[in-house]
Amino acid sequence: MTLAEFIARLPKGDLWVFGYGSLMWSPCFGYAQKALGRAHGYHRALCILSTRYRGTRAKPGLVMGLCQGGSCWGMAYRIDAQRARRALARLWEREMNRRVYAPRLIPVRLPGGRMVRALAFIADPEHPAYVGELDLHGRARLVAQGIGARGPCVDYISKTLEHMHEVGVRDPHLERILHAALALRQNGGHDSAAMACAPAPSAARQPAARAPRALLRRAARRPRRAAARR
């Protein structure tokens, strides 16, 4: 889908955008409101090979996508209608250059129970860069080796987790991948050492994250405008 085609299908009014990875801590657009939100019907996963921002063709990294099933905590941004086209152009340049994502309006619940339809970038399981069946340590190896135009893949995941922790959200599965990747880097890429250092993965593939109600109320009370940062 082209940007023009997507804009033509959008309802009139303000635009909501749902960030679940780097958009949580480094949005590329200005916004009028920011709030913790929960997307329904999708979960966060490390499932996209990165050959530019967090890796190279020779040594790809691994970045996040939304996959069907479950739910996902993230940041919801409201963009004024008059600024939506410019924000979308920036998002398209950042997220859609390889067409590994499908742009969708998905239901997101905001603090207080309000539901909005927000733009999110859904992983395309048919794309060659999509990583399907791969265990925790296979993903950790990709994270450990990936270094691209925006820096190491481990930094990308660390910053995402730090932001999640600040708002009271945990993702034990993602934390285990990061711990294993850091252990691999410290031990020169030897899997046995990394497995010894990393916590054992839980039985659940991706445990559901929960955010305290107090933080949801706080997010609702303190919307703000922020400048775009890359």
Residue 229 phi/psi, 5-degree rounding, is: -135, 140
Q: What DSSP letter does each residue of 37-70 carry, written as one string?
A: EEEEEEEEEEEEEESSSS--SSS-EEEEEEEEEE
Name which of 169, 191, 171 is nearest 181 in CA terms: 191
Three-state secondary-structure class, residue 103: strand
Active site residues: 95
Pairing of strands 15-19, 115-123: parallel
Three-state secondary-structure class, residue 214: helix
Three-state secondary-structure class, residue 34: strand
d(CA 214, CA 211): 9
